Amino acid sequence: MKKNNTCLLISVILLLVLPLTGFGQLSVKDVDRLVENAMEKFNVAGVAVGIVKDGEMFLAKGYGLKSVEGKEKVDEHTSFAIASNTKAFTAAALAILVEEGRLSWLERVVEYLPEFKMYNEYVTQNFIIQDLLTHRSGLGLGAGDLQFWPSGSDFTMADLLTNFQYFEPVSAFRTKYDYDNILYMVAGEVIKRVSGQSWEDFVQERILDPLAMNNSSTLPASMSGLENLATPHMEVNGKLETIAWFEHNPDNMNGALGAILSNADDLSRWMLLHLNGGKYGDSLEKELFTEKSQREMWKIHTTINVRPSSRYKPSFSGYGLGWRLGDMDGKFTVSHTGDLSGMLSKTIMIPELELGVVVLTNSYYGGGGLFQAVTQTIVDGYLEMEAYDWTGYYLERHQESAGSAAAEVDRVWETVENGDHHGVSIENYIGIYTDPWFGKVEVYLKDGEPWFRSLRSPQLTGPMYHYKANAFAIKWENRELDADAFAIFSLDEEGKAQQISMKGVSPDLDFSFDFHDLLFERIE
């Protein structure tokens, strides 16, 4: 008996410390153990998980804390910013308008937004509604995101509609996938012009309310009226700290990211809607959109290069309307991720298995590794694949990436500190400069030291430190941005600065800080 009890104890201990093994669907306890282990490894404050299977909600549950500064726990109704998972709601809203005959997917954007202007006249005149949703504009990754990121800028929808003309395309129109956000905001404006309602009101009344997503909102956190909210965090020197919410301007910035606040329970309803071809209700007697619209949203409109995988053997990859499309182990997959100011999320559905999984987190940077590890482990179970330690895999990748980026940033600031800065005439750089789409910035003296500030995006302000030659490193005053940048000056024959180009200091900089798209000319 004593020997048997000892063996039983050892078995229990192994179950608690080893990664999940074997095949088949994970139990609720398996998911609990998976999430709690990943939270510890990735240093994440709070997580929510939703799983739907065979037309039912299998799991909607919260883990950890809403905020490290309090003791309130995340539950299935705790809402997070779902960031770019918002894009699928914008696509669904347009599908509703298409079905009502109020617009067509193939109609030109200028028919609804006459002031819309792209980088050349042909593209402007031939840009259709679907082009707003499919990341094939010819513009580079995240082009123009600095108009809304970081929050607090004064850019308007009028700016967004016309500033595309100042960007240089990186590929021919409709030939290459390059992810964007601004065009989804333009799609939100189309919804407003056609329906007579703001994007926020339309999505709330036509999607969230019918689905009884009662703890979700299309408004910023401060305006949402929701009380059960997770708080965003970031890691500083290994310790989680709360950070400010990203607050989009509901008059201008919508349809792309940061707009919807939602939770595991409500998003499970959203996944069930899609897995049921647009139908909902106790007996699926109601219809939000038709199966035809579902097929259009889940059809590849822009191809994406397939990432080889001996495990999943993918054969295709692409982007539909608000969704990333692909296959795993021969089964069609529909997914998207979201990443915004301390909030990260992932949604994945496998229609053939009637399966949907959503994972929400409130901690950056670890949340990205966590949502990948948790979703892949759960999906692997339903695919009946041999278990793999995805938590360990993504943790190693996360640590390598973070370490490499941190080393490069440290090298730059060591160069600043130890460099020879004699002979640098700061007065040659002082002045006001302007970029055709981003507007004016000023280089000025503050307490005898050079500073940089944007007149239209007030969070982009901070001291400038000479780096090398005509390059300065800017350390943004708001350290939550984690996006220090180089300002590289071009001088005239007298040594006076005439232009500024920019780029991020870190090689792992969030792509929405598209400093590389800027070129400032001196005006004063």
Domains along the chain?
23-217+227-403 (3.40.710.10), 420-522 (2.40.128.50)
C-alpha distances (whole Å) from 68 to each of 9, 140, 232, 262, 310 are: 34, 37, 10, 20, 40
d(CA 226, CA 229): 7
Q: Is 431 helix (H, G, I), strand (E, B) or coil?
A: strand
C-alpha distances (whole Å) from 212 to each of 56, 76, 209 are: 15, 14, 5
350: left (phi over 0), alpha (psi -120 to 50) or beta: beta
Residue type, 116: F
d(CA 64, CA 396): 23
Q: How many residues does the chain have?
A: 524
d(CA 202, CA 428): 52
421 in Cβ contact with 466 (< 8 Å): yes
Residue type, 68: V
Could you say which DSSP state residue 349 is in?
E
Residues with Cβ < 8 Å from 1, sequence gap 6 or more? none
Residue type, 434: T
Q: Which two tokens stand for residue 312?
A: 């999943």
Q: What is the pLDDT of residue 465?
A: 97
Q: Which two tokens stand for residue 117?
A: 């202007």
Identify the bridge partners of residue 76 per DSSP, sorted by sequence position.
Answer: none
d(CA 271, CA 356): 6
d(CA 486, CA 170): 22
d(CA 73, CA 235): 19
Return phi, psi of residue 237, to 5°: 55, 45
Q: Is 197 exposed, middle or buried (0-12, 13-18, 19+ CB in 10 A)?
A: middle
Residues with Cβ < 8 Å from 314, sequence gap 6 or more? 306, 307, 308, 326, 327, 328
Residues with Cβ < 8 Å from 135, sequence gap 6 or more? 177, 178, 179, 180, 183, 302, 319
Cβ atoms within 10 Å, residue 417: 8
By DSSP bridging, strand 233-236 and strand 363-364 are: parallel
From the CA atom positions of the chain, what is the Rg in Å? Answer: 24
Helix, strand and coil content of the chain, in percent to the nearest 5, comes to 35, 25, 40
Inter-residue long-range contacts of 490-493, CB under 8 Å, 24+ positions, other chains counted: 491/428
328 in Cβ contact with 312 (< 8 Å): yes
- Crossing angle for the helix pair 390-418 and 28-42, nearest 10 degrees? 10
Nearest Cα to Cα of residue 165 among 129, 133, 127: 127
d(CA 340, CA 358): 16
C-alpha distances (whole Å) from 239 to each of 9, 44, 233, 236, 370 are: 34, 10, 10, 5, 17
| pTM of the model as a whole | 0.93
d(CA 73, CA 343): 16
Identify the bridge partners of residue 466 per DSSP, sorted by sequence position.
Answer: 472
Helices (H), 259-389: 264-275, 291-297, 366-382
Q: Which two tokens stand for residue 433?
A: 């400069």
C-alpha distances (whole Å) from 494 to each of 20, 326, 434, 491, 498 are: 67, 57, 21, 7, 10
328 in Cβ contact with 341 (< 8 Å): no
Nearest Cα to Cα of residue 488 among 475, 476, 478, 503: 503
Q: Is 225 helix (H, G, I), strand (E, B) or coil?
A: coil
Q: What is the pLDDT of residue 238?
A: 83
Return phi, psi of residue 53, to 5°: -150, 130
How does pLDDT run along the chain (524 residues), one tens digit per residue? 333 443 433 333 333 333 444 456 899 999 999 999 999 999 999 999 999 999 999 999 999 999 999 999 999 999 999 999 999 999 999 999 999 999 999 999 999 999 999 999 999 999 999 999 999 999 999 999 999 999 899 999 999 999 999 999 999 999 999 999 999 999 999 999 999 999 999 999 999 999 999 999 998 887 888 999 999 999 888 899 999 888 766 665 565 566 799 999 999 999 999 999 999 999 999 999 999 999 999 999 999 999 999 999 999 999 999 999 999 999 999 999 999 888 999 999 999 999 999 999 999 877 789 999 999 999 999 999 998 999 999 999 988 888 888 899 999 999 999 988 888 999 999 999 999 999 999 999 999 999 999 999 999 999 999 999 999 999 999 999 999 999 999 999 999 999 999 999 999 999 999 999 999 999 99
Nearest Cα to Cα of residue 185 among 213, 152, 160, 215: 160
d(CA 255, CA 342): 19
Q: Is 362 helix (H, G, I), strand (E, B) or coil?
A: coil
Q: What is the pLDDT of residue 249?
A: 67
Nearest Cα to Cα of residue 109 among 90, 123, 91: 123
